[in-house]
Amino acid sequence: MILTDDFVFIHEPKTGGTFVTEMLRRIYEPAKKAGPITRALRRARDGRKLMVDTRKHGTCSEIPRSHCRQPILATIRNPYDRYVSQYEFAWWKDRPPAHWDIEKLRKQFPHYPHLTFAEFVGLSNTLFMQLKNDRFPPDESLGRQTEQFVRYFFRRPEQVFPAIDADYLAARRFEADMFPVEFIRTDRLNQELHEFLVKIGHAPGRVEFILGANKVFPKEGGRANDQPWQNYYTPELKREVRTKERLLFSLFPAFDV
């Protein structure tokens, strides 16, 4: 999470937040690297405002009261692509989170951590889930991308996610349960981040460098250009993901390709 004088940026993992963070560091003055007088002089000289890079993957519910009335910015990634990004990033191989039942995982997948992509998707949508929902039969259950999205961008996620049912989805009641977030797409980060910053008052010339900026990967690296997400899916697996992430595809229909 990044707190600025103008807005709050929520960094959901594997959605392009590393790029946004780096761009914001070039625009805003890091609050902890200079005293108040130095920061005031710099702002007077070149117009830089403050940013605080706080808990990296903080959620909307964790925005501090000092910034709770600020606009909220976040990045959103095509769910098909994001599953592939998570699989290739492979954090789940050597850094399993505390809530995982490793014994149960190894019983289901004795060859873990050597999983196929399809096995990873299945594991993501069962043992990886932090919030549970039992309102649907197994083949229609909600997926991990949706569960994460609810945790990051919904009010009262612990109450909302378990209560989601078919009527809730059909009536689009999720729209009323969300924080007012402006999403920019991972596949259009340069253009849409630039447009957002201009809209909130930054001089176009000051943020023009974003339009030509190269991708910024985490220190662990990124996926190669010859690994498009489409290559990872069979028609059956794609239908499975489409069903499990139907809430996301309803909110962002352009991703439903």
CATH number for position 194: 3.40.50
Mean local confidence (pLDDT), 26-55: 62
Residue 42 confidence (pLDDT) above 90:
no
- Phi-psi domain of 87 (left: phi exceeds 0; alpha: psi -120 through 50; beta: other): alpha
Q: Which of 11-25, 38-52, 121-135, 185-199 is least confident?
A: 38-52
Q: Residue 32's pLDDT is what?
A: 55
Task: At 39, list the tokens.
Answer: 């920061």
How does residue 9 score in pLDDT terms, banded at 50, 70 and 90? very high
Mean local confidence (pLDDT), 219-234: 79
How does residue 198 score in pLDDT terms, banded at 50, 70 and 90? very high
Residue 225 confidence (pLDDT) above 90:
no
> 8-10 and 72-76: which strand pairing?
parallel
Mean local confidence (pLDDT), 54-75: 92
Residue 37 confidence (pLDDT) above 70:
no
Residues 123-147 have pLDDT tens digits of 999 888 999 999 999 999 999 999 9
Cα 239 to Cα 80, 82, 228, 233, 246: the distances in Å are: 10, 15, 18, 9, 10
Residue 33 confidence (pLDDT) above 60:
no
Cα 171 to Cα 152, 165, 237: the distances in Å are: 21, 10, 27
Work out how many domains the chain is built from and give that number: 1
The total of other beta-carbon atoms located within 10 Å of residue 221's CB is: 9
* Burial classification of residue 197, based on how many CB atoms lie within 10 Å of its CB (0-12 exposed, 13-18 middle, 19 or more buried): buried
Query: Is the N-terminal amide bond of 138 cis, ω within 30° of 0?
Result: no
β-strand partners of 182: 73
pTM score, whole prediction: 0.88
Task: At 149, list the tokens.
Answer: 């999205």
Distant-in-sequence, close-in-space partners of 2: CB < 8 Å, separation ≥ 6 = 8, 9, 11, 21, 24, 51, 52, 53, 54
Mean pLDDT of the chain: 89
Closest residue by Cα to residue 189 from 216, 225, 157: 216
How does residue 41 score in pLDDT terms, banded at 50, 70 and 90? very low
Q: Residue 224's pLDDT is what?
A: 65
Report, in this order, helix, strand and coil percent for the chain, each rounded to 5: 50, 10, 40
Q: Which domain holds residue 134?
A: 2-255
β-strand partners of 51: 4, 30
Name which residue leads in pLDDT, 244 or 223. 244
